[in-house]
Structure formats: structure tokens, C-alpha cells
Structure 1
Amino acid sequence: MIRIGLIREGKIPSDNRVALTPAQCKWIHKNSGDVQIVVQSSPQRCFTDKEYRQAGVEVKEDVNDCDILFGIKEVPVSMLIPGKTYLFFSHTRKKQPYNQALFRAMMNHQITLIDYECLEHEDGQRIIGFGFFAGVVGAHNGMMAWGKRSGAYDLVRVCEQKSFHELIHTYFGLRIPAIKIVVTGSGRVAHGILEIMNLMGVHEVEPDEYLQRQYTYPVYTQLKGGDLYQHRSSGAYNRAHFHEQPEEYTGKFLPYARETDVLMNGIYWDKNIPRLFEAQDIRESSFRIQTIADITDDAHGSVPINLGDQTIADPVYGVDRRTLQKTAPYLPGSIDVMAVGNLPNELPRDASRYFGEQLIKYILEDLVKRNGSGVIQRATMLDKGKLTPHFDYLSDYAGV
């Protein structure tokens, strides 16, 4: 019997999402005789202890007897249980300095770490994640911010709705003026953004038409890799080569900045990938963008005027076009930026249900049977406290 524990989230601010819902735990118990789910009691979780107990799941404080522990956000060092196998988003694969102490503590505690972010299909596509609902919430918040700046309409807060279904009903009768919106990316985040664009009645147009025409109704265009980057010498774009040698490419986004009111950013970024634009570009009078929803939320990343996270309670700030300093939102002479690191927390039950479905479908069986799955091996950053070969590049970060 394999015992899986759903741990209480300890990071501040607290996260209320879960890896498996009560109904999913009940399904696992019914369909897998060799797995038992245990839930660590939590007052913050979007599904209550009572809901898990009603689904036949044991709820208790001590999960030391579990073999595998599922979390969502980083586990505080003080809450780590030595020798266990953990699955959570560690935010260490890019050598994030703020989690270096956590990574080294896991090594000292001989922990096996399987990072959700590293669970990928053979072609490199992420298997599980909250990206779709990050896109949904981020797109809504971006449109909410533009409505507040323009005074054209007033959208409700997502976090005040009980479900995605309830949120959709708030769009009935919504009239959006003839604005132009760019959506960047092609993954789960972008799919969530597109869902909101379509629900709000924003029409899709091709990138070339978007640059050449003005419209009497709201439109968006989706920009993928080849629309955003080109090789410095050949001018071409090859996806595989771009991901191997991104420093050989340059960005080609600026023409869109001159034709866009709202930017919905859903692209992956790391330090070697060109930014969409440079911070000083916003000083130009031709830079038309007024609202940016930086849903992938890399501070000073693909959106260089992302000056850091806001909160769900206060998701938007301004950036002064002249000084590039943070201001209050919606001021003349500023650009509004929506940047929040835990957007799916605004729809936690829907987001958790979606996440758990993917976890059950693609990961759980291989994890429990320990059958040497390549997917799980490639996502295992630490094996009993030791760096695995796939993550040798972290040796300096890990201090080995």
C-alpha cells in the first residue's frame, strides 16, 4: 500500500489550491486498491477538511507515515520531513536565488524532489499545471484594468465568484469598445486567455491584418514564436533551434506595440530570450499600449516594466512612462501592469479540479508503481538528496 499525503500549504501568503479534490481522492480509493490518500488538516484549503472526510478520506495532522507528499507551492524549510518524496512547484530550475536555501535544505534532508513544472511529454510540452486558469484570471483582470482606466465598463472581481461558470455569467451584456489586444504565447496560459477573449466577444484577426487595419469592434491577435522572434542573421524562426540558442534571436514585437491597447502576455521567458520590448521603449509617443496583463509574471522579464508582484487583493499598479517608476494605477502618463504570481487562486476549486485530472491521467499510476517512467525520471531534480544527471547544471546553485 502506497500512502500519499496532501500537505498543508505553508508559504506566506498562503495558497488555497490542492493537488487532488475530495471527489478525485474518492475515485482513486475506488479504482486503485494499492493507494491510500491522507489529507493534512488545513483551515485555508479551498476544499474543507469536512469535504474530504465526507469523501471517505482520512484527515489528520501528522503525515510522517506517508510515502509521497503532494503540495502546491514551495514547502518552508521548517516543514520539510526528512527522507520523503515530495511533489510541488519548487521554483528552482532557473536557479531562483530566493529558493536556494530551500533547495539545499532538501539535499541535507535527503529528500526526493519531483517538480510539477518539469513533468513533460517527450516533445517538451508541460503535462500538468495551472496555466489555463492563470490565463483565464489574468485575461479577466487585464480587461478589468483597461475598463477602469478608460471608464468604458466595470468588471467584477474573479475572486468574488464561486466558480468559472458563475464568472461567465457576468459577461452577459458586456460591451467592449473597438480596442486592439495582443495575446502572446501558445501554451495553456494562452489557451486560458483566448477562452476569455471569446467569451467576451472579442474577434480574432490574423497578425498581418492586425497591423494594417483599424476596426469598429474589439479584436485580438495571437502571436506565437515565429511572430515574436527571428534569427539575427537569417531572419528565420526555428522552434527547436530557438529553444536551444535563444541568444541568437532578436525580437520583432515593437510594431505591435504601436497598434495595441492591451497586451496579454502568456509566453515562457528566461534570461537568454529576447524581451518583447525594452523599458525605455515606453517613453516613445508611438508606444500605444496602456494596459499589460503579464500573466507569466517574470519580474523584469519578457515585460521589462514588470516591477514585481502585486496581490490578488490589489493586482494592478502603474509604471510612469518617463521615470519608469512604480505608481498608483490608472494615472495619466503611466501604463497599468497586472502582475500576480498566484492568479489561479481566484478560482481555486476549478483550478484544483483541472490540475488533479491531469495528475491522475498522466502521472499517478507511474508514480505509484515506480516503473522507471521517463517522464518522472526527467522531472526528478533530487533523488534522496542528490542531484540527478538531468539537473547537473544546478551544481553551483546546490553548492556541490
Structure 2
Amino acid sequence: MSDRPRLWMRHESRNSERRAPLVPEDAARLVAEGVGITVEEAPQRSFPLADYVAAGCRTAPAGSWTEAPRDHYVLGLKELPDAPNHLVHRHIYFGHAYKGQTGARELLGRFTSGGGALLDLEYLTDDDGRRVAAFGYWAGYVGAALAVLHHRGLLRAPLHPLDRSALDGRLAAGEPPADERALVIGALGRSGRGACDALEKAGITPTRWDVAETRALDRRALLDHDVLVNTVLTTRPVPPFLTSEDLDAPGRRLSLIADVTCDVTSECNVLPVYDEITDWEHPVRRLREGDRPADLIAIDNLPSLLPVESSRAFSAELYPQLLRLNDADTAWERALLAFGTTATTVLKGSTHAR
């Protein structure tokens, strides 16, 4: 067995991010196996710092990861602050930098200039290419739930974190409108299953599309639904599922798009009908006015609205992988290879490397 890794779980700089990639119970399991863990203070995190202390973790002030020893892996979820310019550690988080997204070149340059590396959680995969730890189910569940609530006139901004029982109570309240139609694209994946479960909870039997249906997409059938929930994550450009021209099509029934994937600044975006995500303060954006309005929900941290449930599920999948961080021939080596290949390609001028 190789030496156990040392982890430094950072504070999330985004105020609306309440999740944790590692929950106290799983941190305790890692500590018992000899993994050293430091946890930064984070007032908005849904898991008290005292619970990590009880699990055997050290603590540190928010943002102090920049001073962590070089052999520590910095663990997080969402984007890094803009400084420092040179990143010297190996960072584990969702970098959103491998598909030509805005800021990808700058971020990857920070890693290469500092000698660090991005171990992107989106590219932490098993031998079959399947992600080993994902928030997908809960992203789909929350995205579809918000879509239903908005379509029924029940969504109120700003949004606040809930537990599942409270969210389910809102979905099940009252009688659903007659002939309410919802389509889930990517229905067989993690996010798609979550979206379908939320729609069923709301009394809707969704139309389920996956690879076969998108290969020969029936655009008229798509537009004949009230709600579209997109959960497809692609790593290569494909023909779009919906275009601006579709939103202007006569007879369009579709009035709400919930884009769980939020690949808005990537050339892999399958819904090129918007150019900016929405957020907790303003969860819905109007895309078309008039007699046939069309709205958008595109929040890129949906699972944080159910922070406890989603964090526990993700942490349960991630912690066995964290035990193997220093082992040879693991998912981490594939993630490191993906970083090296992509950084080289992007920094040479290509915007899309995978």
C-alpha cells in the first residue's frame, strides 16, 4: 500500500454553495485509514466544522489553501478565486475547462505556470469511461422540480436550500394542471433519472428521450411539450436540440426550458438559445415575450439547493477513490492524463480538446 494522501478541503468562494465534497462521516473513515485531512472554515457549508473536528480533521481559516504544503491535494467543488496566478497544488474539483468554456485557457495556464494540476471530477472515470462520483441524480431532480414549480406559478425567488421532504411536499401539493407535458432528454443517465423521479413526484409521467431519440430528433414533438428538461452532457459538439429559430416557430407549445447541464459557453452546448446562466437570486430568465412566452432555468449548482442529501450521496462515491489517490493505475491517473492532454492542446491555441 502506498503512502496515504493528505487532503485540504477548501472553503467555497461562491456564497450559494452549501455542499461539501466530503462529509464528516466519510472524513472519519479516511482519517481512520491514515489519511490526513485539513478542513477550512466555511460558514455557509451545511456541515458544521465541529463535526469534522470530531472526525479527526484539522482546521484552517477560509482561503488558506494557498499556504498548504505542496504535497496536499486541495479538494473543492466549484470555481477557484481569481488569485493566485500560479497554482502549485493538485486541485480536485469541477474545473469546467476542457470543452472550450470561457476562461478555460486562463485557468489551465495558472496550473501549468505554477506546476500544479487539475484532477477534474468530471473526468474521474472508471475503465468504461463512467464517472465514479457525480451529483447528477440530484441535479436532475432539483432542475425538474424547479421547472414544475415555475410552470405552475409556485416558484419564488430568491431560492433557498431545502431538504428533500420539503421540496417533495411542494411538488405534491394540489392537483397538477390538466395535460401538463414534460420531456426529459438524457432520461437514462443519472441526471435524467433524477429529473424523471421529480416529475413523477409532481404527478407528471414524462416523455423520456435518450440517445436513440436524439440521433433522429423529432423537433415538432419536442416543441409540443410544456417543459423541456435537458440532462445531456456531451464531450463533443453535436447538432443542437433546440435553436433560436425553434423558439420562434409557429405553434410552439414549449414554454419552459430547464438546462441541467449548463454548457452555455462551450461549443458542446446542445441548447444554444441563451448566453448566460441563471442563479438563486434570479432563477428564471425570459427568452421570448409576447403571446407565447418562453422561459429558462439554467442554474449551475442545482444540487446545492438540496445540500445535505446531495453531499452525502456524492461523498459516499468519492471517499473510496480518495483512499487511492496515491495508488498507481487508478481513475486519478486517467484524470491527470486528461489534464495534461487538454492543457497542452488548449494552451497551443485549440479551444476544444476532448
CA RMSD of aligned residues (A): 2.6
Aligned residue among 313, 327, 341 for 1:370: 327
Q: Which residue of 2 aligns with 1:73?
A: 78
Aligned letter for 1:229? Answer: R
Aligned length: 338
Q: Which residue of 2 aligns with 1:207?
A: none
Supply the distance in 2 between the matched residues of 1:310 and 1:38 (Cα, whole angstroms).
33
Shift of 1:3: 1.9
Q: Which residue of 2 aligns with 1:187?
A: 189
Shift of 1:303: 1.9
Q: Which residue of 2 aligns with 1:4?
A: 7
- Given that 2:162 and 2:305 are in contact with CA atoms closer than 8 Å, whether structure 1 keeps it comes out as no
- Given that 2:8 and 2:40 are in contact with CA atoms closer than 8 Å, whether structure 1 keeps it comes out as yes
Q: Deviations over 1:203-233 (max 9, x none)?
A: 2xxxxxxxxxxxxxxxx11100111114xxx
Q: Which residue of 1 aligns with 2:274?
A: 306
Shift of 1:80: 7.2
Higher RCO, 1 vs 2 (CA within 8 Å, ≥6 residues apart):
2
- Given that 2:229 and 2:257 are in contact with CA atoms closer than 8 Å, whether structure 1 keeps it comes out as yes
**Would the alpha carbon gap of residues 9 and 381 (structure 1) be closer, same or farther in structure 2, given more than 3 Å must change?**
farther
TM-score by length of 1: 0.77
Supply the distance in 2 between the matched residues of 1:113 and 1:270 (Cα, whole angstroms).
17
Q: Which residue of 1 aligns with 2:309?
A: 350
Shift of 1:50: 2.6
Q: Deviations over 1:288-307 (max 9, x none)?
A: 11111111123273222233
Listed as ranges, the matches of 1:84-95 within 5 Å are: 84-95=89-100
Q: Which residue of 2 aligns with 1:16?
A: 18
Supply the distance in 1 between the matched residues of 2:139 and 2:335 (Cα, whole angstroms).
22
Unpaired stretches in structure 2, ≥5 consecutive residues: none
**Would the alpha carbon gap of residues 142 and 129 (structure 1) be closer, same or farther in structure 2, given more than 3 Å must change?**
same
- Partner-residue secondary structure (3-state), 2:152: helix
Q: Which residue of 2 aligns with 1:227?
A: 213
- Given that 1:315 and 1:340 are in contact with CA atoms closer than 8 Å, whether structure 2 keeps it comes out as yes
Supply the distance in 1 between the matched residues of 2:54 and 2:350 (Cα, whole angstroms).
43
Q: Deviations over 1:134-187 (max 9, x none)?
A: 111110111111112xxxxx3577954541133223334431122111110032
Q: Which residue of 1 aligns with 2:231?
A: 266
- 2:345 is the counterpart of 1:393: yes
**Would the alpha carbon gap of residues 170 and 319 (structure 1) be closer, same or farther in structure 2, given more than 3 Å must change?**
closer
- Partner-residue secondary structure (3-state), 1:171: helix
Shift of 1:95: 2.6
Say which is worse superposed, 60-69 or 119-128, in terms of deviation.
Answer: 60-69
- Partner-residue secondary structure (3-state), 2:83: helix
Q: Which residue of 2 aligns with 1:27?
A: 29
Q: Which residue of 2 aligns with 1:122?
A: 127
Q: Provide the identity percentage.
A: 23
Supply the distance in 1 between the matched residues of 2:233 and 2:60 (Cα, whole angstroms).
38
Q: Which residue of 1 aligns with 2:203?
A: 201
TM-score by length of 2: 0.86
Listed as ranges, the matches of 1:227-246 within 5 Å are: 227-230=213-216
Q: Deviations over 1:81-131 (max 9, x none)?
A: 853221111111113232321210111110022110111122222221211
- Given that 1:312 and 1:343 are in contact with CA atoms closer than 8 Å, whether structure 2 keeps it comes out as no
Aligned letter for 2:57? Answer: V
**Would the alpha carbon gap of residues 270 and 56 (structure 1) be closer, same or farther in structure 2, given more than 3 Å must change?**
closer
**Would the alpha carbon gap of residues 380 and 270 (structure 1) be closer, same or farther in structure 2, given more than 3 Å must change?**
closer
Q: Which has the larger radius of gyration?
A: 1
Q: Which residue of 1 aligns with 2:335?
A: 379
Q: Deviations over 1:47-101 (max 9, x none)?
A: 2323322333221234513621111112224257853221111111113232321
Q: Which residue of 2 aligns with 1:83?
A: 88
Q: Which residue of 2 aligns with 1:105?
A: 110
Aligned letter for 1:380? Answer: L
Supply the distance in 2 between the matched residues of 1:82 and 1:271 (Cα, whole angstroms).
28
Say which is worse superposed, 262-271 or 134-143, in terms of deviation.
Answer: 262-271
Aligned letter for 1:394? Answer: V
Aligned letter for 2:323? Answer: E
- 2:252 is the counterpart of 1:287: yes
Supply the distance in 2 between the matched residues of 1:339 and 1:366 (Cα, whole angstroms).
34
- Given that 2:158 and 2:282 are in contact with CA atoms closer than 8 Å, whether structure 1 keeps it comes out as no
Supply the distance in 2 between the matched residues of 1:227 and 1:295 (Cα, whole angstroms).
19
Shift of 1:332: 3.6
- Given that 1:85 and 1:112 are in contact with CA atoms closer than 8 Å, whether structure 2 keeps it comes out as yes
